[in-house]
A and B are shown apart, each in its own frame.
Chain A
């Protein structure tokens, strides 16, 4: 903490001109804080809490699916009436569990927890900015997320249960309270929560984009940005374009539910009553939902890929292979993400011609994804790999991303999707490629930047143990799940006893469930390591991973404004690892070429002339008094 205080006094004099610095109260410092680092930690810890809830839910329904004979009475103290007297899970609550698991993991953990944490934490630190463009909006962003969280959390305690129509909340099921208990108050709260969540994402996204464009330090041109920042920028653009569409679809659904409109409803007879609604289309909702829903996959995944790029380069002690190709492939993925949404809808009755178009566009995505995969592998090639936990999770991510991505080529093929749609094959596919891969990105990021966040180190061995158990566990869960899918098992089934064709494979489902419980238990290693290390971890050195990026030039615990004195200028890209001729195997971005004549390439020697210009630039530093 002393570093913060030191920093603050240091700045006191410099700041007088601009604004008055008063000692911040506890509330200003940790709760309604405008400092991007604190907001990042708020996002992270909220995300972790949500992850615990979301994953616990998955374990409960995995018990139901894999061990259907088990007596769940021991859950009665928590779940109360949702467990029958015979110790069985309520079928409605089963649907609520899968719905909330999906919602929580996709939006609250992997969108807010991943992108919210690392965009906030790394953008200012890696581009060399004092803070986000608008600290206030940034704070609002978190508190809107918090509000959304509170509402969603409250919905778990409703008598009728939370929303339960699947995380995609397709109407009419979600629009008609009489169709399902989960479509009552639970759905109302779900929609309200999501509306606030979207507001939060938009506030955050605008901030990320503005900050990256406007607040880069001297010399930090776009082609010197670390790939993390590129990925956060692209993610924010994706979110900014697609989340409003979800908001509108949510609003129209609210209208249908409460104000008698017929956007999604037509020709419905339910509970002995023909509803007056005509002319609406449930398919319209699906188009709107997936127009967000598909980019959302990449909103979740791209930050993980960005983090991985950074961590793999640092710990392979090699420049990332194909820096420009990596950016191009991310841009390509981002662009394509907007024009593939209907591959979720091949069998909804949509015009088959559209299906052909979307199949074609979908399979193109495999190309930039393949480029990324190969570039990671080439980065590992002839490296000098240090297996930090962050690195292990990044390597794991590459494996999961490719293994899960390949089955996407099957599912993107509309002819094959006929059979596989809404079976466990799909579940296995997206859990590997977007669920587990993104979670691995989150873990990699936490392990890698923990020293910067908390000034302490996480325990390496526990991290490694966590990695191996999780990595093996994930594959044990999801590889067999493909078999279950090929056998035709539909998803969101409370039990598999109603049909002859699902009345088999019981041991495979049991195996998956046991592996899931095992993986779940392994996460407690992380939880313990994380919370213990915050308080008791070994003190972090200045640059624990010997990394090039700018955040490691800031004080070990950066205070308000991140750098004491002037913000460092940037003279080179962030991937000068193991440069031939260099003394060390890394050259941070703030080292000018003029100081490293022994390792400069000819074209870099030419850049020495520009260094004076970069140095004399002076912009974007709110702490500077003389303009």
Chain B
């Protein structure tokens, strides 16, 4: 790669040299022109430069594109992602045509019609037919692109299917926290930002019985492959934005306004490791809305499991209440009995935590979905 940079640097230097040497010549003749005549110094050189840039530009854009391709993201791992990718490259393909035509014409005309002594330009102020043509053609192309884009957009943003796996993801400075509906009822409990504290990081409202079996994870998110996943997105402090590049997923996280995005991942992490030939491959969740000092490192690992592994993983998670049994105090009296199920038998002995959880988890896995 250093070779390329060196090459480019060389081109610059040569170019600078050429320009300066041209300068010398022109500077000498500068004092001669004082009349009202049009000054055309360097016309031939500049005209030729347009052709050089045209050819050089075409070659370097083609080459750099071919070179850059290997660094692009691998094929999308979600169904809608492949659709938008196809649409992207289709649009890019179409737009390359005017890109080439316009730049060719601009550069070519500049060279072709450069000033010639005694020559006079053609007085050609308008041609309504021509103008109509190049109003209508872009309009038609736009209509086509709008239509395909609109179809894709309305499908992607449609209501999530009923069987979607609902997972909450909350952004804070500077990490993401995933919350799952739980080992038993798979329903997310209520939340309230005023209940947030050092342990209860997403403000789980324990007066809602659905929250008893909720569990959170501040470092990784597991999702099942092959069925819709609905992300319920929240932010705790400032704006964040959930970005899963391999899934082509992006949605802002807004304090006070829950957002959502659903997608169907159809390649497990294991699939991707095989496909990319990289045994360490991992899906990642990033932040794309500037949120402060740690914005560039708000990473969460995303693991796409097959259904069985996913269910097993869910069943093994420690519920929030089992991790922090002291929150039992926040459960209303009439629901205490229900909540007790998720609290280790001997809340006072931390050693009991794990066994109680795994027992609860085993029981839960059968009732899950």
Q: Which residues of A contact B (CB under 8 A)?
A: 91-92, 95, 165-166, 170-173, 176, 179-180, 265-270, 272, 274, 278-283, 316-325, 347-349, 352, 355-356, 359-360, 363-364, 366-367, 370-371, 373-378, 380-388, 392, 395, 398-399, 402-403, 406-407, 409-410, 413-416, 418-423, 459-462, 464-465, 468-469, 471-472, 475-476, 479-480, 483, 486-488, 490-496, 498-501, 504-505, 507-508, 510-511, 514-515, 518, 538, 541-546, 575, 577-580, 585
B169 contacts partner chain A, Cβ-Cβ < 8 Å = no
Are B173 and A419 within 8 A (Cβ)?
A: no
Are A469 and B290 within 8 A (Cβ)?
A: no
- Give complex CA distance A324, B288 in Å: 43
Take A281-B256, A462-B23 as given contacts and tell me if A95 and B135 are in contact as well, using a CB distance cutoff of 8 Å.
no
Q: How far is the CB of B71 from chain A (nearest CB, A)?
A: 5
Q: Which of B121-129, B316-324, B349-357, B360-368 contacts A (4 or more CB under 8 A)?
A: B121-129
Chain B contacts of A270 at CB under 8 A? 173, 236-238
Number of interface residues of B (CB under 8 A): 131
Chain A contacts of B280 at CB under 8 A? 500
Are A349 and B251 within 8 A (Cβ)?
A: yes
Are B193 and A348 within 8 A (Cβ)?
A: no
Q: How far is the CB of B316 from chain A (nearest CB, A)?
A: 26
Take A383-B113, A475-B57 as given contacts and tell me if A518 and B43 are in contact as well, using a CB distance cutoff of 8 Å.
no
- Give complex CA distance A389, B135 in Å: 31
Are A422 and B121 within 8 A (Cβ)?
A: no
User: From residue 102 to 117 of chain B, which have CB atoms closer than 8 A to chain A?
Assistant: 102-103, 105-107, 109-110, 113-116
Chain A contacts of B236 at CB under 8 A? 268-270
Are B153 and A356 within 8 A (Cβ)?
A: yes
Q: How far is the CB of A464 from chain B (nearest CB, A)?
A: 5
Can you name 20 extra interface pairs (CB under 8 A) apart from A92-B293, A472-B15, A492-B295? A91-B296, A282-B256, A321-B124, A321-B127, A322-B127, A360-B150, A371-B135, A377-B106, A378-B127, A382-B122, A406-B99, A409-B95, A410-B91, A413-B146, A413-B153, A415-B150, A422-B243, A464-B22, A514-B5, A578-B120
> Among the listed B95, B122, B154, B251, which residue makes an inter-chain contact with A318, where contact means beta carbons less than 8 Å apart?
B122
> Among the listed B149, B196, B282, B295, which residue makes an inter-chain contact with A414, where contact means beta carbons less than 8 Å apart?
B149
- Give complex CA distance A501, B300 in Å: 12
Q: Which residues of B contact A (CB under 8 A)?
A: 1-2, 4-5, 8-9, 12, 15-16, 19-20, 22-23, 26-27, 30, 34-36, 38-43, 45-47, 49-50, 53, 57, 61, 64-65, 68, 71-73, 81, 83-85, 87-88, 91-92, 95, 98-99, 102-103, 105-107, 109-110, 113-116, 119-127, 130-131, 134-135, 138-139, 142, 145-146, 149-150, 152-154, 156-157, 172-173, 193-194, 196-198, 203, 233, 236-239, 241, 243, 245-246, 248-252, 254-257, 259-260, 280-282, 284, 286-297, 299
Could you say which of A318, A387, A498 has the most chain B C-beta atoms within 10 Å of its C-beta?
A: A387
Are B64 and A483 within 8 A (Cβ)?
A: yes
Are B43 and A416 within 8 A (Cβ)?
A: no
Q: How far is the CB of B50 from chain A (nearest CB, A)?
A: 8
Take A268-B255, A356-B153, A359-B153 as given contacts and tell me if A384 and B116 are in contact as well, using a CB distance cutoff of 8 Å.
yes
Chain A contacts of B252 at CB under 8 A? 347-349
Smallest Cβ-Cβ distance to B140: which chain A residue: A367
Chain B contacts of A377 at CB under 8 A? 102, 105-106, 109
> Among the listed A179, A281, A415, A541, which residue makes an inter-chain contact with B152, where contact means beta carbons less than 8 Å apart?
A415
Are A179 and B237 within 8 A (Cβ)?
A: yes
Q: How far is the CB of B253 from chain A (nearest CB, A)?
A: 8
Are B134 and A374 within 8 A (Cβ)?
A: yes
- Give complex CA distance A412, B81 in Å: 17
Chain B contacts of A459 at CB under 8 A? 27, 30
- Give complex CA distance A366, B103 in Å: 17
Take A352-B157, A468-B19, A488-B245 as given contacts and tell me if A382 and B113 are in contact as well, using a CB distance cutoff of 8 Å.
yes
Chain B contacts of A476 at CB under 8 A? 8
Are B110 and A385 within 8 A (Cβ)?
A: yes
